[in-house]
Structure 1
């Protein structure tokens, strides 16, 4: 059996006392059929891995109270454990496996480095120093919620009736947890071993970090938890697990008023302030169920005694009696409303690599909790029994008496204190990875939606929009997706060069033709889009009336029957000019500029020669800045051509089109029909459209913007001005609570450190920070200093990747991502 050493310091001498792990951990065996655990303390138990709630309301509180009100056997122990864990291996493996079927010499390397970057900072603080000061983003972590239930047995071994009773309780608890919304998953021997191992073994070579979590069925579970190099050293005010320091803090006084949902504060400062704890920590609430009637009778006697004292002469000498009476009255009222009497303990643990960091984190935690009206005090002498009693399935019913850390209350009162809240963990799939303001790893994907896969990005200038867009696009490219970027600012030329993509620049010297009719597969299905496209050619401001549009439809339909894919703008112009009605002849005159004889004819009057043969294509409209009408029609035709590629391309390949710095062209004229048609086609064939604009208000200025907003399942909002947020709130343009708007107001960017993104999606919402390593910082940068530095090395013949490495070397920076 595994051996551990507990060392007691006495008069400067270490006295070794060898113990078996089973003397500390009571969990012996596991029943895989019923998901039950057997302990040597005459107990039978079960547990669930859960996802923390991101918000609370009255309905959820009723369900939580209902769970606590369940008629558990006397001496049952429930545990609610919220653990900021360094274990992100599962998420990182999913991030890598998502790319298993696609290998790219650069993209695969960047993703692997990204994974290592995130893993590295589970043990090191994410620190940065800039000319704006020092920033400590803490550790990368995953918040794990574990809920356990443990009942005592009559004898040394469980009887069949006891097993059946616990199975029945487990089923009811699982059902209750599902209604609460914490997504319970039964704990198994393997998951128990991995979870507890992460709490006990903190070394860089800990077995759980390298996959050592298999359940050895021929050994007691308690002997599979401690690594061989993990010893426990007891000090007066803390203990050590190997070389890692642990400090326990217990609640001396609970807040007089606390509401359901306030426990979200346990995860740290969600407003982005600096008061959050930067180390790993664990919050544990043990709930003990005494004999119900006996406890009620005892409470009633104490209440009557206190009432007698509170109304007597003793009150002026002991003013606390009035407060004590109020507490008993609250207990009495809650019990009369059907709540159950319980006893709870509230304990926090700090885990840190150094004593100094442990002490700083403990002070920070106590101070932060004090802001929430908790009085947390360091537990100096019983750290080890508190820790063991707080490990999953290790709570001891005798600890209520021996540790004297439990407080009596009702299930209704206890429900508001449970540590069951956490920050949003993202959409579910790791196409990209963000970090919450407290270091929670967040997944991000446009494809975690059962409606459409489209996105709107709104970002004020300088808030990091191009940086985030580069990361998002690279993340999809690394999975093998085909990506098109339509831009008007050359923000993506670096990324295109480094990926050997196609960079098509529209300008005077460009030999590019975009005749749309060669691409038509089914004219009837695409008629609305084609008529809308030709209407945009005829009228930049969208001033064709209903008669003109109907006439244009009739003419184009007849011409399609005659010419098919050989149809040209010239044919439409001539047919319109030959019409009897002047209004239709006006269309022909207005189309002239796009015919083979007009100034824009070289873009549309000849054979289409734009082929999307590479994985990444950037379509740059910067040189068309002075010709807005041409830019708009080119943009619409590019969208049409890309949607045809989506239709004809590989069905199982993801396809993303990103429109940046060209949003203003979609606001001109009546192009809403065209956009709605394009979005429908992208949705039907699994494509994603990303539109970037500066202000969220831009989307609601016309029909096109509203159509885009309504057809975009996700919104990513970077820094927005106070005026913009207030306008959006006042006009009801975003469905957010007041707290959501307050959160949106705090979204900001610190150049060179992180960009914050308010993510609103079908699967939830939250604020994530994009923090990357030095290579990606330089790769995505639009700072002229960085762009010029890379350009200088490229002039020497270096590729973009080599040029970036050369710049990093010159600046004395290491490639950390």
Structure 2
């Protein structure tokens, strides 16, 4: 049976007084401030980057004044409700037809949050100054003078603290940790959560009241609204049991970023780490005394080698030199890991794992507090800047043990949300305004889930306002379910499909071709005219063709020119080479197989928000397929130019076909550079990076103009060439090699956005899986359900597969 002790007032054990604006005033007159920081993501960082970062943290500690105290409070919770709410707001005005897609996604995210499956790391750094010592000059001086003196001295004391606080803030900003001031309401929320976790979950956070109002409760009274029961082995607050693990033994040696391992445990917890800068003169005197004692042991040993004393003397002399040189400071540090659970068995499992994790840090040892749990509890609250069990160590060792590490969380607007490998939600905004361009590249082997990944991304992107226009150039009907579910149009192109796309089409209100349009026509003609194995047409002939194109537009009035018009012009040209090109156009004009698709007025329209153009039917005509894919690119660009307020995305499967000749490469790379000004982007899909990135000029042009890069699982590739092409470091390469796929559950991708990296998990909700799948057995199941419910639309058929055949009938069409 547990022993229970009761304290009448928990506040008697806490030094909290009140807030002065956003500063905490403690009972001893010291001041404190808090900074929210973005931890450094080192998941794919090089050793050099990590070492340099930790050295900068060491420099920060060395620059702090004596007597200052610092607390790093690492909070790993499951609360991602703000992010989910922001994500839902992005889709608030979506069309009613797409509401089932949105509801399924939001419900999926909320269920995972409620189950505690998500992790949201937050890091707050608190700084606490020295106590304020105010002395009265004389007992006989009037109270008015004493009050004025206190006010003046407090103002000076406050200014001095703010200078130190700003110095720390500036240093963190220089490290790229983006520090922002923790306001008093946020600070109160952290304290309230620490002392009232269950109450916060059930009732919510009370509003912080103004301490200056009449009869206002104190900050302590507003923060302590739950009883704390002290058991012999733990504390109990509500139905939660709390245990505390302090760092008992320091590691044998420390290495940069070793504390990162403590931030990846698979449950929710808090870490409170407090550091105090000691009086360095006193510490040096103590070390000098120890040095003299060690020297006497060595010098006093005649003809006897005292290895232990010699080693101790050498270490002390080295440390003294570092202290004198300013490279190190002596400080004290305490680390507490706070765990909680409603079941003691589960809590014990967490304790065991924490102790194991600590031991992996070069034999560090943790102490699981029992009788001293309460003392640890009141020393570890957010902003206390106190440690119950502190250890003396150098500033460089302390920097290695400080958990300044977190994850890159993606873009500001959560248009699309996917968790990373450690289930921390990650936001992607394909058209984020802060990005230099919006183009994308998707690379993955056969069966790696390229189409599935893009459909998952587009499914979330599509349901925002204004509704984007998405055009798939598909090769195998992988987007068919997606298009049908979203009410789009699927165009299956073949030589008998009665589809026509005129290479000479102009944009709205255009009477003569733009530079981009001429590039498009020349690239198409080069594909038609070049001989097998020929890289490009001769420069002179390309120049003559360009002149012919401009002349053709001026000659043909009242209609758009066609390939037949160009054929007649070339046949009558005085240059023999161009006459030969006119002869080649016989197979591309009229009622020929190629002419049906290209020689006439265009009849493809983007009337729907989502359009898929399936080109698998042109596999037997590779030349025609290459030309058609190129023309589609120009067609989407023209459509985007008509409505600049609407985002357009062109997704090209088998994108390597667009880079076959010098002119096609030149045109596509030009598109990569200019699509942003049309509020448009192009995503290229390919199975192997060598398909076109092996061409140096292509890689050099594509990478600077591509923001979103999705790399899926790779198999049987030349890893050395792959690493060289993307300029990956070893950590990045190993991350890509480790990518996993578990069918119907998740697939992992390596995502790059400019210079940032993340490993994401594509975890579909029940409905989105069936919308995005291109698996053969899944398609067969969908087909069977469609036969069973012939009166239902595609989306509602998929809802019955996802949620059961008893899904509400009011959604029937």
Q: What is the TM-score of this pair, normalised by structure 2?
A: 0.87
Of 800-809 and 786-795, deviating more is: 800-809
Closer, same or farther: CA 167–239 of 1 in aligned 2, 3 Å? same
* Alpha-carbon distance between aligned partners in 2 of 1:756 and 1:457, rounded to the nearest angstrom: 13
Cα gap change, 1:646 to 1:579, in 2 (>3 Å): same
Question: Does 2:222 match 1:224?
Answer: yes
Q: Does 1:96 align with 2:88?
A: yes
Equivalent residue number for residue 555 of structure 1 = 548
> 1:321 offset after TM fit, Å?
6.7
* Matched residue SS, 1:336: helix
C-alpha distance after superposition, 1:514-571 (max 9, x if no partner): 1132324351433222222232233385542212211111111111112265211111
Residue 600 of structure 1 aligns to a residue whose secondary structure is: helix
1:256-295 alignment runs, 5 A limit: 256-268=252-264, 277-295=265-283
What displacement does 1:124 show?
A: 2.4
Q: Residues 279 and 352 of structure 1 are in contact (CA less than 8 Å); yes or no, is this contact kept in structure 2?
A: no
Partner Cα separation in structure 1 for residue 308 and residue 86 of structure 2: 56
> What is aligned with 1:364?
353
Could you tell me how far 1:488 is from its partner in structure 2? Answer: 0.9
**How far 1:14 sits from its partner (Å)?**
4.6
Name the CA shift for 1:351/1:103 in 2 (closer, same or farther; >3 Å): same
Q: Does 1:48 align with 2:35?
A: yes
- Partner of residue 416, structure 1: 400
Distance 1:467 1:198 in 2: 40
Structure-1 separation of matches of 2:179 and 2:195: 24
State the partner residue of 2:162.
Answer: 167
Partner of 1:607, secondary structure, is: coil
In structure 1, the partner of 2:498 is: 511
Query: In structure 1, how many angstroms separate the alpha carbons of the residues matched to 2:402 and 2:317?
Result: 22
Please state how far the C-alpha of 1:752 moved relative to its aligned partner: 2.3
Q: Does 465-474 or 709-718 show the bigger shift?
A: 709-718
1:708: which partner in 2? 702
Indicate the residue corresponding to 1:590 in structure 2.
Answer: 584
Q: After superposition, where does 1:264-343 map in structure 2 within 5 Å?
A: 264-268=260-264, 277-309=265-297, 328-329=316-317, 331-338=319-326, 339-343=328-332
Number of the residue aligned with 2:422: 438
Cα deviation, 1:618-660, whole Å, max 9, x if unaligned, reads 11112222211111111111111100111111x2332211112
In 2, the alpha carbon distance for the partners of 1:811 and 1:385 equals 58
Structure 1 residue 150, shift from structure 2 partner: 0.6
Q: 1:32-111 maps to which residues of 2 (within 5 A)?
A: 32=21, 35-55=22-42, 56-74=49-67, 76-100=68-92, 102-105=93-96, 107-111=98-102
- Aligned residue for 2:146? none
> Aligned with 1:518: secondary structure?
coil
Q: In 2, Cα distance between the equivalents of 1:540 and 1:204? A: 77
2:671 aligned residue (660, 678, 701): 678
Report whether the alignment pairs 1:477 with 2:462.
yes
Cα distance in 2, alignment partners of residues 322 and 353 from structure 1:
53
What's the secondary structure of 2:555's corresponding residue? Answer: helix
The answer for unaligned runs of 5 or more in structure 1 is 1-10, 126-138, 269-276
Among 710, 715, 721, which residue is 1:721 paired with?
Answer: 715
Q: Which residue of 2 aligns with 1:612?
A: 606
**How many Å apart are 1:349 and its aligned residue?**
2.2
Matched with 1:215 is 208
* 1:196 correspondence with 2:196: no
Aligned mates of 1:744, 1:261 — CA distance in 2: 22
Structure 1 stretch displaced more, 515-524 or 139-148: 515-524
**In 1, distance between residues paired with 2:194 and 2:305?**
48
Any idea what SS the aligned residue of 2:477 has?
Answer: coil
**Contact 2:484/2:795 (8 A) holds in 1:** no
Question: How does the TM-score come out when normalised to structure 1?
Answer: 0.87
Q: Is 1:247 paired with 2:243? A: yes
Partner of 1:147: 125
How far, CA to CA, are the matches of 2:285 and 2:77 in structure 1? 42
Q: Write the distance in 1 (CA, Å) between the matches of 2:771 and 2:736.
A: 28
Range with greater deviation from structure 2 (491-500 or 573-582): 573-582
Corresponding position of 2:179? 184
**SS of structure 2 residue aligned to 1:489:** coil
For the Cα contact (< 8 Å) 2:28–2:132, is it kept in 1?
no
Q: 1:438 to 1:23 in 2, by over 3 A?
A: farther
Counterpart residue number, 1:460: 445
- Structure 1 position 439, deviation (Å): 2.1
Q: Work out whether residues 484 and 657 of structure 1, in 8 Å CA contact, stay in contact via their aligned partners in 2.
A: yes
Distance 1:780 1:309, change over 3 A: farther
Find the aligned partners of 2:172 and 2:166 in 1 and give their Cα distance. 10
1:749 matches 2:741:
yes
- Give the whole-Å Cα distance in 2 for the aligned partners of 1:295 and 1:621: 76
CA drift at 1:785: 2.3
Contact 2:64 2:164 in 1 (8 A): no
Instruction: State the partner residue of 1:783.
Output: 775
Question: After superposition, what is the alpha-carbon deviation per residue over 1:224-274, rounded to whole angstroms, capped at 9, x for unaligned?
Answer: 345x5x443333333333223332212222223323233332322xxxxxx
Mapped to 1, the partners of 2:380 and 2:728 lie a distance apart of 37
Cα distance in structure 2, aligned partners of 1:666 and 1:769: 30
Q: Could you give the per-residue CA deviations for residues 3-57 of structure 1, whole angstroms, max 9, x where no partner exists? A: xxxxxxxx6565544425x33554343233xx31112343210010000012344
* Equivalent residues of 1:250, 1:377 under 8 A apart: yes
